[in-house]
Structures are given as C-alpha cells and as structure tokens.
Amino acid sequence: MPNPGPVSSAPADRDLIAQAAAGDERAIGQLYDRYATVLYTVAYRVSGQRADAEEVVIESFAQAWRDAARFEPGRGSVAGWLTMIARSRALDLVRARSRRERITQTAAADVPDAPLAMGTWRGDPADALDRTERRRQVRAALDELSPPQRQAIELAFFEGLSQSEIAERLNEPLGTVKTRVRLGMQKLRAALRPFFFEQGP
C-alpha cells in the first residue's frame, strides 16, 4: 500500500483549500501539519539556511492563504502546488541574496547551518510514514536515471537554472541538455505516477 492517502475521517487537501478560500484559517493549520516538513525540506535544500527556509515556509503558506480561491484542481494536487510555491519562493530569496551580495562586497560569508533544527516539531505519524515511503520511491526513481539526466533535472529544480544555463554550466550542447531533461522527466513521471500526492481523476 504505497499511497494510503488521507484517512477517511480527515478532510481531503482540496476541501481544506476550499475552506481556506472561504476564510477559515484553521484549514491552513491542517495543511501545515501535513506538508510543512516537505516545504521546509525543499526550502532548506534550495537556500541552505535555516532562517531562510523558515521565512519561505511562512511566506508560502501566507501565499496559499491569499491564493486559495485561485487554486485550480485541474492543474495538479494541493501538495504539489504548495511545494512548487515554496521552491520558487526559496529560489527568489536566493537570487535576491546573490544580487545583493554582488552589490555590497561584504565579506561575512554565511556559514550553512546544520540540516536538522534543534527541538524539531514532528507532524502526524501517519503523514510521516506516508512521506517516508514516497521519499524512498522518489530516491529509487532518481537512482534509475543516468547521472547526467539526474544532474540536469536537479540543477533545474533545486538551483532554478534554465536549460540554457545548465548547458552553459556543464559546457554541453543545449540540445543534449534538453533531451536529458525531457527523457529524465518522462522516466520519473512513469515511475512515480503511483506515488503522486493525489491521484488524477
């Protein structure tokens, strides 16, 4: 049972988003309990700073709250939507920081924090179990890619590079990078479809 989904008594993610759209703040609390760890993980991986990752999580849920009415179920799951919000906010933050650091030439280098926060909060154990299984599947699927495919996809997702920027960084032809991204993503999609946050209609 790789993808048990929410227990029957718990409201579906989409219902929570609808409640948030109707002005119920508690819905955001419930979404936090389900997905804060995923959002924090990606924000931390992108920014490398605990304080930045926390700021990203706060801003992402605030944005989800503001944009709840604009959520389009046809475009994917709530969890996927939240995750992509957190990823792009983290990338924005990192880009803004590097712009600023290029301007002011202060030397004080930010030392990356240790990955695990002290005194951590842990969500619902059922969600954690779900997350552990998904994580295992995602890592296994990535291991099935060729290393260059995996590298191109990770540069795009975690560092926000465009295909041209990836080609430049790796000193490879653009066409080669495009093929790696396309084939790699198609392979991941086939392998991970059973583990999507929500199954399609």
Q: From residue 60, how far is each of 84, 86, 90, 128 by CA, in Å?
A: 9, 5, 9, 20
- Asked whether the beta carbons of 57 and 39 are under 8 A apart, the reply is yes
145 touches another protein by CB under 8 A: no
Dist. CA 37–CA 33, nearest whole Å:
8
119 touches another protein (CB under 8 A):
yes
- Residue 112, classed as helix, strand or coil, is coil
b/e per residue, 169-194, with b = 16+ CB within 10 A?
Answer: ebeeeeeebeebbeebbebbeebeee
Is residue 176 a contact point for another protein (CB under 8 A)? no
Report whether 138 contacts 195 (CB < 8 A): yes
Rule CB under 8 A: is residue 170 a binding residue for another protein? no
Find the shortest distance in angstroms from Cβ 177 to another protein.
9
Among 15, 54, 124, 172, binds another protein (CB under 8 A): 54
Least distance in angstroms from the C-beta of 74 to another protein: 7
Exactly one of 98, 110, 126, 135 binds another protein (CB under 8 A); that residue is 135
Contact 187, 149 (CB under 8 A): yes
C-beta of 7: minimal distance to another protein in Å? 21
Q: How far is the CB of 171 from another protein (least distance, A)?
A: 17
125 scored as a contact of another protein (CB under 8 A) = no
Residues 12-41 that bind another protein (CB under 8 A): 18, 21, 23, 25, 28-29, 32-33, 36-41
Q: Closest separation between CB of residue 153 and another protein, Å?
A: 7
